[in-house]
Amino acid sequence: MAETQGGRPSVLKAKAGDAPHPSAPVVGKLRMRYAKRGRARFSSHRDIARTMEWTLRRAGVPVALSQGFSPHPRLSWIGAAPTGAASEAEYLEIGVTEHLDPAVVAREVDAVLPDGLAVIEVVPAGPGALADRIDTSVWEIETPGVPDDALAPAIEAFLAAPEVSVERVTKNGPKPLDVRAAVAELRLSLTRTDEPADADREDRARAATCGRLTAVVRHTTPAARPDDVCSALRAVAGLEFPEPNRATRWAQGRLDERGELIDPLAADRAAPTA
Amino acid sequence: MFESLEPLLPRVRKPVQYVGGERNAGTKPWGSVPVHWALCYPDAYEVGLPNQGLMILYEVLNERSDALAERTYAVWPDLAALMREHGVPQFTVDGHRPVGAFDVLGVSFATELGYTNLLSILDLAGIPLHAADRTTEHPLVLAGGHAAFNPEPIADFVDLVALGDGEEVVGDITDVVKAAKAEGLDRRATLERLAAVPGVYVPGLYEVTYGDDGAIAAVTPTSPAAPERVHKRTTSDLDDWPYPKKPLVPMAETVHERMSVEIFRGCTRGCRFCQAGMITRPVRERSPQGVGEMVEQGLKSSGYHEVGLLSLSSADHSGIGEIAKGLADRYEGTGTGLSLPSTRVDAFNVTLAEELTRSGRRSGLTFAPEGGSERLRKVINKMVSEEELIATVSTAYEHGWRQVKLYFMCGLPTETDEDVLQIASMAHEVIRAGRQAAGRGDVRATVSIGAFVPKPHTPFQWAGQTAPDVVDARLRKLREAINSDRSLGRNIGLRYHDGQPSLVEGLLSRGDRRIGRVIERAWREGQQFDGWSEHFSFERWVAAAESELEGVDLAWFTTRERGEHEVLPWDHLDSGLDRGWLWDDWQDALAAEEQDDCRWTPCFDCGVCPTMGTEIQMAPPGRPSLPLTPVEHRTSTPIRNPAFASSAPSTGGRDE
Ligand code: SF4
């Protein structure tokens, strides 16, 4: 509406919050684990950030605002999954101005999220930075058109190689990325946990032509993404992927000396409530 | 059909725009209702999603128990190519259903620049481009929106046109389509029945003949079901239509990310260039109470932190002061922003802006004098004197604004180089006065200029459009004049686009049915997304006009002035304005005589109210301002969710 010629209306504009008035102090932080599923996997990090801001307002969560002329909500994001990838383990830290029951926040926010986004858990932040507890991701990558049988030898070749370099386009032009160095573990996902037992025949027929692999990937700069893992398999074993892969991040955390992933919210759950 | 679309999405730009799932959107089971509407905005999702008209109709239709409505938008070339390669048809973003399966495809044209995209959409949907080639199995293609007040250029491609406000007519169309399906009527019989619905025009039931001079000889109904003239629809009480109640909140980035409330419809300022003002008369205000409720509801269900109070000139609402103060009080300290479009150039605008910014930062304020010289402003009926403008702008600088934006048009009827050059002296004066008022030298002004395009149903519908090279030459001279004083010129920015796209817009605005072939040719040569400069090719349009028009040409449709008795392509479509009144207003324009606003002076008989049975509706004064109890001072919680207090889990609020 109001798309008028000439009468291009001038816009009187204001942000009530433009005033540097004192906004309420932060009394605590909440840490949220959320999932990005289904169609929502096509959203970018910016899309999710914007959506989450509005969602928190819909839910009535008293998010703290930064000071100054254009206050923005105090949300900190930890390494978002790339556009196109699903995730069961995304993390967000929210500064709040009131003490709230994390379980109620989880329920209220989940109820007003758009389809495909879901809250998994909310905990009060304990001591220490969340970012310090996350250095690794566990990815499952589905490869339509490339069955397990074809993946297996490629995985073997990849693991045997001292270095597998792929080209990554970054802001500063193409850069080589050693995917081998970033990958702590790469194997076929043998158990299909998310598949109902009575999956119909069509689904099973599809499974016969669609491989699945699990990759445990250390966070590097630039990050090695599921696409890079596939590119690395192509580079090392000439594997061609006729269709785009579908990736899901199952977990993030810190990889300990024994190669086990530590849940980043475990420490907060253990900490006495602030 | 999402499964067939999904594998294509990782290969395209911004795939999220194609997946739907917006907050407050929903789907109904296909078989649960007899009538299926696909609502289309023929531009990219990022432009189409925030469109209020489409959002309103989406909600109105989905509230009916006998209809469902889903949305579809133009698909960018990268995905369109993949869809063609893989046989994926044009789809709705709600249920990802093929558009070709719906009963009605309603397309909203805010501008004529969506016409080529209409063809892309029909083609991708597998719907024959020409209405004449469609059968009962194809959707009825319906055009609406402001551009549909002259739908003749797309008459071959659409089955139906809805004139005027859409809220009620979509219901009437639904009723007819439902009955027609139940009775098993064929397409022709269905269309004839629809032609009887007030506000509905069925182009296929009219024949257009042309005279030797190239102009239209007559437009004649070919069926007894088709009326001689089709009158627009007018929604009368806006408070009865508080839509959108639940604005769609997309995950994708869009051009307007805010909660919009239409505070009134129509405008009788009578700016002669403004089609929107002319075709939406009379003024119908929403009550301050109604506005307050909609803002509250909308913010709650969307979570947005910006509110837009929409209309053609929102500062003209009789209760705007009260509304602005009420909202500013209500949402103070919540980080909620308020904005409103205004075309006024007076002190009140500044007062209002002060209210909206309270103690905040005052960055820029915009005024639209539209015409460079006082004479020209009389021609276009934009009543503001240079003194008034300078005084207003000075007040703005005095109150802390550092920058003003000034909007003008170039290529207006009777305009000379001199009229345009006066923009430079006005801008110089603005800076001079601004420096004095602000007591500092760093005040700025930006001059934005758009090329004027004469539009149907306005007094300028007879005017010859100014050729793009004339416009471009005037603007070059203007730039020189602005910079002739280095000291003042360096504080003035000048923005304009080249004039060529406006000529195509002019062709599509005032064209007749012969332009359909030009549109189809341009589209076949690859033209689409006309509103995007990177996709627009003037040469392609010129070539299409040359190859498809006989006896008449691009200039005939655009730069030629029309005579009083020429049959205009839209004469049989009634916006309510009396043709005689429009002609007199055009003559007044040429004589630089102004026309008052009927909201504050007696009715000047433009014809709308008696023909349409409507009346001006001003919000009754003296009602309690906003239905909002003062909130306790809460500095961070914008919208308190009552569900927080109780333990009952709230529902997601999706309609099912
Ligand atoms: S008919 Fe009279 S009152 Fe109604 S819009 Fe026209 S001038 Fe105004």
Spatial distance between the Cα atoms of B460 and B397, rounded to a whole number of angstroms? 35
Spatial distance between the Cα atoms of B463 and B562, rounded to a whole number of angstroms? 6
Does a structural domain hold residue B348?
no
Which of B312, B599, B608, B612 maximizes ligand 1 atoms within 8 Å of its Cβ, making it the mutation to test the pocket? B608
User: Which one-letter amino acid corresponds to residue A37?
Assistant: R
B504 lines ligand 1 (CB under 6 A): no
User: Which one-letter amino acid corresponds to residue B253?
Assistant: E
Which of B268, B578, B582, B596 maximizes ligand 1 atoms within 8 Å of its Cβ, making it the mutation to test the pocket? B268
Q: Determine, for residues A18 and B409 on separate chains, whether the beta-carbon distance falls below 8 Å.
A: no
Among the partner-chain residues A18, A54, A97, the one whose CB lies closest to the CB of B249 is A54
Spatial distance between the Cα atoms of A34 and A79, rounded to a whole number of angstroms? 13
Residue B51 CA to ligand 1 center (angstroms) comes to 28
Q: Find, in chain A, the residue whose alpha carbon is nearest to that of B266.
A: A2
Q: What is the pLDDT of residue A262?
A: 95
Please check whether residue B655 touches A, CB under 8 A.
no
Q: Which of B453, B496, B457, B491 is nearest to B473 (CA)?
A: B496
Q: What is the pLDDT of residue A171?
A: 78
Which tokens in the block code for residue B397?
Answer: 């600088």
Residues 81-110 of B with CB under 8 A from A: 110
Within a 10 A sphere around the Cβ of B445, how many other Cβ atoms?
25
Residues of chain A contacting residue B350, judged by C-beta atoms under 8 Å apart:
none
Q: Find, in chain A, the residue whose alpha carbon is nearest to that of B256.
A: A1
User: Which one-letter amino acid corresponds to residue A78?
Assistant: I
Residue B165 CA to ligand 1 center (angstroms) comes to 17
Q: Would you mind telling me the total number of residues written for chain B in this entry? A: 656
Q: Determine, for residues A16 and B21 on separate chains, whether the beta-carbon distance falls below 8 Å.
A: no
Q: Determine, for residues B52 and A12 on separate chains, whether the beta-carbon distance falls below 8 Å.
A: no
Q: Determine, for residues A14 and B10 on separate chains, whether the beta-carbon distance falls below 8 Å.
A: no
Q: Find, in chain A, the residue whose alpha carbon is nearest to that of B506.
A: A5
Among the partner-chain residues A6, A42, A83, the one whose CB lies closest to the CB of B273 is A6
For ligand 1, atom 3, the nearest C-alpha belongs to B603
Does a structural domain hold residue B19?
yes
User: Which one-letter amino acid corresponds to residue B29?
Assistant: P
Within a 10 A sphere around the Cβ of A240, how many other Cβ atoms?
9
Q: Tokens 């809220």 correspond to what residue?
A: B167
Does a structural domain hold residue B133?
yes
B545 lines ligand 1 (CB under 6 A): no
Q: Find, in chain B, the residue whose alpha carbon is nearest to that of A116.
A: B21
Q: Determine, for residues A60 and B644 on separate chains, whether the beta-carbon distance falls below 8 Å.
A: yes
Q: What is the pLDDT of residue B51?
A: 95
* 3-state secondary structure (DSSP) of residue A69: coil
The string over A247-264, giving b where at least 16 C-beta atoms fall within 10 Å of a residue's C-beta and e elsewhere, is bbbbbbbebeeeeebbbb
Q: Report the run of H or E that residue A12 belongs to, with start and end.
A: strand A10-15
Does a structural domain hold residue B266?
no
Contact A141, A229 (CB under 8 A): yes
Which of B280, B381, B598 maximizes ligand 1 atoms within 8 Å of its Cβ, making it the mutation to test the pocket? B598
Q: Determine, for residues A69 and B335 on separate chains, whether the beta-carbon distance falls below 8 Å.
A: no
Q: Determine, for residues A6 and B52 on separate chains, whether the beta-carbon distance falls below 8 Å.
A: no
Spatial distance between the Cα atoms of A71 and B334, rounded to a whole number of angstroms? 10
Spatial distance between the Cα atoms of B396 and B223, rounded to a whole number of angstroms? 60
Which tokens in the block code for residue A63?
Answer: 């998010």
pLDDT < 70: residue spans in chain A: 1-23, 69, 191-207, 272-274
Mean pLDDT score of chain B: 90
Q: Tokens 């009083």 correspond to what residue?
A: B564
B234 lines ligand 1 (CB under 6 A): no
Among the partner-chain residues B334, B366, B644, the one whose CB lies closest to the CB of A10 is B366
Pairing of strands B306-310, B337-342: parallel
pLDDT < 70: residue spans in chain B: 358-363, 620-656
Spatial distance between the Cα atoms of B179 and B175, rounded to a whole number of angstroms? 6
Q: Determine, for residues A69 and B652 on separate chains, whether the beta-carbon distance falls below 8 Å.
A: no
Q: What is the pLDDT of residue B364?
A: 73
Backbone φ and ψ of A253, nearest 5° = 170, -165
Q: Determine, for residues A83 and B15 on separate chains, whether the beta-carbon distance falls below 8 Å.
A: yes
Q: What is the pLDDT of residue B342?
A: 75
Backbone φ and ψ of B362, nearest 5° = -110, 95
For ligand 1, atom 6, the nearest C-alpha belongs to B606
Q: What is the pLDDT of residue B654?
A: 32
Among the partner-chain residues B252, B253, B339, the one whose CB lies closest to the CB of A12 is B339
Residues of chain A contacting residue B334, judged by C-beta atoms under 8 Å apart:
16-17
* Tens digit of each residue's pLDDT (9 = 90 or more) over A215-249: 999 998 888 999 999 999 999 999 999 989 999 99
Does a structural domain hold residue B550?
no
Within a 10 A sphere around the Cβ of B347, how many other Cβ atoms?
14
Among the partner-chain residues B11, B310, B641, the one whose CB lies closest to the CB of A2 is B310
Distance from CA of A257 to the nearest CA of B (A): 36
Phi-psi sector, A120: left (phi>0), alpha (psi -120 to 50), beta: alpha
Q: Tokens 């000075």 correspond to what residue?
A: B394
For ligand 1, atom 4, the nearest C-alpha belongs to B609
Q: Determine, for residues B352 and A12 on separate chains, whether the beta-carbon distance falls below 8 Å.
A: yes
Spatial distance between the Cα atoms of B560 and B582, rounded to a whole number of angstroms? 18
Domain hosting B62: range is: 2-231
Spatial distance between the Cα atoms of A108 and A61, rounded to a whole number of angstroms? 9
* Tens digit of each residue's pLDDT (9 = 90 or more) over B550-560: 999 999 999 99
Which of B606, B611, B614, B615 maximizes ligand 1 atoms within 8 Å of its Cβ, making it the mutation to test the pocket? B606
Which tokens in the block code for residue B545?
Answer: 């006009």
Residue B609 CA to ligand 1 center (angstroms) comes to 6
Q: Tokens 């507890």 correspond to what residue?
A: A133
B55 Cβ neighbours under 8 A, 6+ residues apart: B243, B244, B247, B248
**Sign for the pseudo-dihedral over CA of B449, B451, B456, B460:** positive
Nearest ligand 1 atom, CA B615: 4
Residues of chain A contacting residue B298, judged by C-beta atoms under 8 Å apart:
none
Q: Please spell the DSSP secondary structure of B491-539, one letter per residue.
A: TEEEEE--SHHHHHHHHHHH--TTHHHHHHHHHHTT---TTSGGG--HH
Q: Determine, for residues A40 and B340 on separate chains, whether the beta-carbon distance falls below 8 Å.
A: no
Among the partner-chain residues B2, B257, B313, the one whose CB lies closest to the CB of A9 is B313
Does a structural domain hold residue B13?
yes
B284 lines ligand 1 (CB under 6 A): no
Does a structural domain hold residue B106?
yes
For ligand 1, atom 5, the nearest C-alpha belongs to B282
Spatial distance between the Cα atoms of B439 and B628, rounded to a whole number of angstroms? 41
Pairing of strands B104-108, B140-144: parallel
Please check whether residue B2 touches A, CB under 8 A.
yes
- Strand partners of residue A217: A137, A183
B24 lines ligand 1 (CB under 6 A): no
Q: Which of B423, B426, B421 is nearest to B474 (CA)?
A: B421
Q: Over the Cα atoms of chain A, what is R_g?
A: 22
Spatial distance between the Cα atoms of B219 and B235, rounded to a whole number of angstroms? 28
Backbone φ and ψ of B636, nearest 5° = -125, -25
Q: Find, in chain A, the residue whose alpha carbon is nearest to that of B22.
A: A114
Residue B156 C-alpha from the chain's centroid: 23
User: Which one-letter amino acid corresponds to residue A233?
Assistant: L
- Cα distances (Å, whole numbers) of residue A99 to A26, A35, A95, B320, B483: 10, 24, 11, 39, 59
The string over A140-172, giving b where at least 16 C-beta atoms fall within 10 Å of a residue's C-beta and e elsewhere, is bbbbbebebebbeebbebbeeeeebbbebeeee
Nearest ligand 1 atom, CA B604: 7
Q: Find, in chain A, the residue whose alpha carbon is nearest to that of B353.
A: A12
B248 lines ligand 1 (CB under 6 A): no
- Domains of chain A (ranges; CATH) run 10-125 (3.30.70.580), 133-261 (3.30.70)
Q: Determine, for residues B275 and A5 on separate chains, whether the beta-carbon distance falls below 8 Å.
A: yes
Does a structural domain hold residue B330?
no
How many structural domains does chain B have?
A: 1
For ligand 1, atom 2, the nearest C-alpha belongs to B603
Q: Report the run of H or E that residue B476 belongs to, with start and end.
A: helix B468-483
- Strand partners of residue A212: A142
Backbone φ and ψ of B139, nearest 5° = -65, 155
